Amino acid sequence: MRHLKAFHVFHVAAHSASFTQAADVLNITHGAVSKQIKTLETYLGVALFAKQGRHVVLTEEGIALRTYTRQAFASLEQGVEQLRTARSPHLEVSCEPTLTMRWLMPRMSQFHQQAHGDVRLSTAGGAVNLGAQGYHLAVRRDDFELTQPYQKQTLVAEWVGPVMSPDYWQRVRTLQLPMTLLHSQTRPFAWQAWQEGQQKRRDHQQAFEFSDAAAQTFEHFYFCLQAAQDGLGAAIGSYPLVMDEIERGRLVAPFGFQPSGHDYVLLRQQREETELERQFIAWLKQTMALSVPREDGVSC
């Protein structure tokens, strides 16, 4: 394109409304700005600026051209950014929302200490279309049917159990109160499944009274666990999602944990791994392998 430099000088001058300010931004002289503007006006055959006292203002033609250069240079900047980003190794990873917030994000700094690359996390649960949604990988709880021929790798078996704040546990145990059960709309049968598992194991702790009389239901599993931590009742916690708070003493799991029958899995398209994918998958598998409890609720 002819006179591209002149168009850029005009673009800066038109937005600063001052040849002097434009010269400072472009690190050229005031005279150089004037010369480029004059070159452009000669090329287009119109006046772009008009003097108004000691200042210059855009003509109607200058205002119109400013609209075009704004669009053109904005598009150029966007394209350059996309090219720059495309050259940088990055991964688009979709992960269960609560797992992302309570387990993955607190550990991402560990990964960045041993690998270089941009891992971009998005939160979603259930079925996923990796290609259509622009994801390289997805981390899911395998509680849905796969409809795509993805490569599935098991990361860790899920263990679940009732969790609550230490103060709440002390209160219901001392006063022999029935527990308030906390439910979430995203895992509506969590308590039922756990109690059925307890009965199969003939655990003596199943005799403890659990009451749905004062139950509360939350829209999302994350809020349900937060409510348990805040002493509103007891929630069924998936071990990776509560292990940090148990270790910090903010939650207790007095009945331990049992396998839920589900796994956390990694989904990816069947193609060759990039180096960043290989590093992230290896780190993820190694780190999640530590997220399995012993019967006393302490991680292995």
Question: Mind spelling out the 3-state secondary structure of 233-276?
Answer: CEEEEEHHHHHHHHHCCCCECCCCCEEEEEEEEEEECCCCCCHH
CATH code at 90-156+263-290: 3.40.190.10
What confidence score (pLDDT) does residue 242 get? 96
Q: Could you report the average pLDDT of every consecutive run of 10 residues in the chain (300 residues)?
A: 84 86 87 92 91 86 91 80 63 93 93 86 88 89 87 94 95 88 91 83 56 81 94 95 95 93 93 89 94 61
Contact 161, 256 (CB under 8 A): yes
Is beta strand 137-141 parallel, antiparallel or unpaired with respect to 234-238?
unpaired
Q: What is the torsional sign of CA 255, 257, 258, 260?
A: positive
What confidence score (pLDDT) does residue 117 get? 81
Q: What topology does CATH give the domain 4-86?
A: Arc Repressor Mutant, subunit A (1.10.10)
What confidence score (pLDDT) does residue 224 get? 94
Scan for tokens 């791994």, then name that residue.
273
CA–CA gap between residue 265 and residue 73 (Å, rounded): 44
Which CATH architecture is the domain 159-260 placed in? 3-Layer(aba) Sandwich (3.40)
DSSP 102: I
Output the six-digit token pair for 65.
């051209």
Q: What is the dihedral of CA 139, 144, 146, 147, to 10 degrees?
A: -120
What confidence score (pLDDT) does residue 83 get? 62
**159-260 has the same fold as 90-156+263-290:** yes
Tell me the C-alpha to C-alpha distance, in Å, between residue 73 and each of 11, 54, 216, 242: 8, 29, 54, 49
What confidence score (pLDDT) does residue 204 get? 46
The domains of the chain are located at 4-86, 90-156+263-290, 159-260
Q: What is the torsional sign of CA 261, 263, 267, 272?
A: negative
Strand partners, 210: 179
